[in-house]
Amino acid sequence: MTKIYLALYKGKKDGKDIKTRLLRCADWAVRQSTNGIYSHCEIAIAKENGVYSCYSSSIRDGGVRFKVMPLPPDKWDLIRVDLPEQRVHEFYAQTKGAKYDWAGCLGIALPALRQNVKKWFCSEWCAGCLGYDQPARFSPNGLAKQLSGSLK
């Protein structure tokens, strides 16, 4: 059976260029505003050779996307989820290319901001894929608590 995880980013991006510094600031802001150690999340399908097919909405990539990448344990925690692989592919097909939802992401800390139903932020996308009602109410840290499974 395919192993599928909620992958939670706890790392810090390496580099000293201005873009990397801004992204590190965004990670810090998410962690601070959601009272946790995670700043991003993905639905990750385990592949061979220690890499994962990762699905999410990413600030860095501008919205909903898929990419294959390693998830080193010093930067990522994994929580096993009971989710059919077909569900991940179907949800991705429905949302592929949607833009990143800045207002929705900021709305977790600033409730006056409303999410855009045509856009997604990372934990909203993952919660939607998992079938949760009102996925925009979840942060990466909130999803980790909701699943409260054992970390891999």
The secondary structure of the chain in percent helix, strand, coil, rounded to multiples of 5, reads: 35, 25, 40
Per-residue model confidence as pLDDT tens for the chain (152 residues): 799 999 999 977 777 788 777 777 777 777 777 788 998 999 999 998 889 999 999 988 889 999 999 999 999 999 999 999 999 999 999 999 999 886 777 666 666 666 777 899 999 999 999 999 999 989 999 999 999 754 44
Q: Distance from first CA to last CA of the chain, Å, rounded?
A: 17
122: buried, middle or exposed (CB in 10 Å: 19+, 13-18, 0-12)?
buried
Taking each helix axis from N to C end, the angle separating 140-147 and 122-129, rounded to the nearest 10 degrees, works out to: 30
- Provide the residue type at 6 as one letter: L
Domain ranges of the chain: 4-150
